[in-house]
Structure 1
Amino acid sequence: MSGVLRSASALARSCHPAPSAGVTAFATVLAVTAGNGAGTCALLALAVLAGQLSIGWSNDRLDAARDRAVARTDKPIATGELAHRTVEVAIAVALAACVACSLALGWRAGLLHLAAVSGGWLYNLWLKATWFSWLPYAAAFGALPAIAVLAVPGHPAPAAWPIAAGACLGVAAHLTNVLPDLAGDRATGIRGLPHRIGARASLALTGPLLVAATGCAAFGPPGVPFLLGWLAFAVSVVVAVLGPAVLWRRPAGKLAFYAIFVVVALELAVIVADGHRLR
């Protein structure tokens, strides 16, 4: 049993747990806000979680040789703690669950979610080393509100503002998520957008993206902006101005990435408090 527990622990650490949990929570709140029932919300959460697990595990499996080359001790596959066969089986199970749960949402929401997951795989296989490394993040985060709305009975059309907000958040998440690994990635031939423009430029670009995302959530829906919307927008402006200045001397850390979670929480609070239905 101890071997099973060790493998389970290694799998949990290899799935990129913080992003996987964050994206799943984000999608679940969107599903509730869009007006889905409890069963649909649970199904959507399972679909998103399974997709994120497959992306996270495949990322570490594909990067195992690179991670070993730069002595990454936090990667169980690279260190040999997690066998290749074990993670490959886990990936297959996650993909099967993702396909089943996605299509159970209806073909519109299901195919859109599977397209978003495919973008994550395309990032792992190729785009992460190109100028277009940001594209799968923009597409996937932008798709989440649309998936939540298309899962509603009647399949109403999603509004443009949550899609734009999600896309901006996705690019910001990409720019900050890779900062701690820039040096190791460059050493092993990975040169996505953040690697090409550098850590400080990535931080500088993240600020306006966060402001744009919060602005879409606060001012995109029709009607007078809710007080919380103004507050969230003001906070995002402060973060955009002070964040790069505070992190300028040591930009390659995790603090900027975790700040994205704060902005996401603010945006969700704005959406839920103002009663927006994302359509």
Structure 2
Amino acid sequence: MVVQRARRRTARGLLRACHPGPTLAVTVFTALLAWSAGHTLASGMLVTAAVLAGQLSIGWSNDLVDVRRDRAVGRPDKPVAAGEVSESAVRAACGTAVLACVVLSFACGWRAALVHLLLGVASGWAYNLWLKRSVLSPLPYAVAFAALPAVVTLALPSPAWPPAWVLVTGALLGVGAHLLNVLPDLADDEATGVRGLPHRLGTRVVRWLAPAVLLAGSVVAAYGPGGGSLDATGLALLLGCVGLAVVAVVARGRLPFVAAVLIALANVVSLVLRS
């Protein structure tokens, strides 16, 4: 019984340490993009699994890199810093995720693998290790989110790059998500020496800038597929994104980031419905 409880505790800690919200969101987006692109069930599951493994490695490595900072500011939402799961267990899980990510990515084809590993996963790790403390902190998000639809289309039997407007939409969503994701933690980050672009801009600027960037992505997603025209579905989704952007401006805590995820989901749905 003691061993079973310890295992369950470790499993819960690993789940919380992987940043389950963003990890689940990116995985769902990948599945929707795979369906939209015309993947079979098997190939769609394969590319989704590859992205999931990469996201798990990024989430776990983030908590490992930040463990001392999180302990210094007493972050109760960080299971490694709070002692809910050991660093060795997270390190082992992270290594397993990296290995699985490499194997699954190359199973999707070498083109998709190189884009996923060198642009998607490497960007996430670069953010965790270095860029989150620099003025270039949004760059890994822009690159990784732009690369995601390319991973999906390059994993098709006839590999192809997605249209430019899709890449631009992904990049804008990535930057907006980054700005809103760090918003609740600006004070704690500043106290431990983390000064990315949002920290330099300040809370007030970020609270307005992030929704504006997300809405720019929504406009590109709405108008891009039609080459300048907007149908009823696109208009409805765009208006919904405007409402969510308002929530991102006025809400506090994690609600702005939830609004960002919903805006991203609306744009993916727009892509799926209009593909």
**What range is the shorter-chain TM-score in?**
over 0.9
Which residue, out of 201, 226, 229, partners 2:231?
226
Does residue 111 (structure 1) correspond to residue 147 (structure 2)? The answer is no
Q: Distance in 2 between matches of 1:19 and 1:69?
A: 24
1:27-48 deviations in whole A, cap 9, x for unaligned?
A: 1111111111111110111111
Q: Superposition pairs for residues 1-279 of structure 1, below 5 Å?
A: 1-115=4-118, 116-222=120-226, 224-240=229-245, 243-244=248-249, 246-247=250-251, 251=252, 253-274=253-274, 276=275
Quote how far apart the aligned CAs of 1:235 are. Answer: 2.7
After TM superposition, the score normalised by the length of structure 2 is 0.94
1:1-55 deviations in whole A, cap 9, x for unaligned?
A: 1111110000001010000000111111111111111111101111111111111
1:221-279 deviations in whole A, cap 9, x for unaligned?
A: 135433110122223334445642x24xxx5x2111000122122112212222x1xxx
SS of equivalent residue, structure 1 residue 158: coil
Q: Distance in 1 between matches of 2:78 and 2:266?
A: 31
CA root-mean-square deviation: 1.4
Cα distance change, pair 152–179 in 1 and its aligned pair in 2 (3 A) = same
Q: Distance in 2 between matches of 1:242 and 1:114?
A: 34
- How many residues are treated as equivalent by the alignment? 270
Counterpart contact for 2:244–2:260, Cα < 8 Å: no
Gaps of 5+ in 2: none
Quote how far apart the aligned CAs of 1:157 are. Answer: 2.7
SS of equivalent residue, structure 2 residue 162: coil
Q: Distance in 2 between matches of 1:97 and 1:239?
A: 36
Q: Distance in 2 between matches of 1:106 and 1:217?
A: 27
Q: Distance in 1 between matches of 2:262 and 2:56?
A: 22
Cα distance change, pair 176–243 in 1 and its aligned pair in 2 (3 A) = closer
Counterpart contact for 2:142–2:175, Cα < 8 Å: yes
Q: Distance in 2 between matches of 1:43 and 1:242?
A: 35
SS of equivalent residue, structure 1 residue 176: helix
**Stretch of structure 1 that moved more, 199-208 or 158-167:** 199-208
Q: Distance in 2 between matches of 1:74 and 1:272?
A: 34
Structure 2 counterpart of 1:38, which letter? L
Quote how far apart the aligned CAs of 1:207 are. Answer: 2.0
SS of equivalent residue, structure 1 residue 149: helix
**After the TM superposition, which segments of 4 or more aligned residues of structure 1 sit over 3 Å from their partners?**
237-243
SS of equivalent residue, structure 1 residue 207: helix
1:144-200 deviations in whole A, cap 9, x for unaligned?
A: 111111111111231111111111100010000111111111100001111111122
State the identity as a percent.
Answer: 48
Quote how far apart the aligned CAs of 1:135 are. Answer: 0.5
SS of equivalent residue, structure 2 residue 75: coil
